[in-house]
Structure 1
Amino acid sequence: MTDKLNVLVRVDLDCAHAQIRAQGRVTAQSIDALYVIVKRANALMSGLAVEIDMVHASVEPDALDQLRACSLSHHLPAHIDPFQSNCRLSILTAGDDFAATGTAARAA
Structure 2
Amino acid sequence: MNSKLNIVVRVDLDHARALVIAKGHVTIHSVNALYVVVKRANSLRNGLDLKLDISHARVDPEALEMLHASSATHHLPAKIDPEQAPCTISVLAPRADAGAGRRAAYSISPALIAA
Please, what TM-score do these two structures have when normalized by structure 2? 0.84
Partner of 1:42: 42
Provide the alpha-carbon RMSD of the alignment: 1.3
Instruction: Please name the residue that 1:90 is paired with.
Output: 90
Q: Is 2:16 the partner of 1:16?
A: yes
Q: Which runs of 5+ in 2 are unaligned?
A: 108-115
The amino acid across from 2:18 in the alignment is A
Unaligned runs of 5+ in 1: none
Partner Cα distance (1:37, 1:10) in 2: 11
Query: Which digits, 9 at most, give the CA deviation of each residue in 1:50-92, with x for residues without a partner?
Result: 1110111000000000000000000000000000000000000
- TM-score, length-scaled by structure 1: 0.89
Q: Deviations 1:7-26 (Å, cap 9, x if unpaired)?
A: 11000001100001000000
Which portions of structure 1, spanning 4 or more consecutive aligned residues, are displaced by more than 3 angstroms? none
What is aligned with 1:67? 67
Larger Cα-atom Rg = 2
- 2:63 is paired with a residue of what secondary structure? helix
How many equivalent pairs are there?
Answer: 101
* Identity value in percent: 51
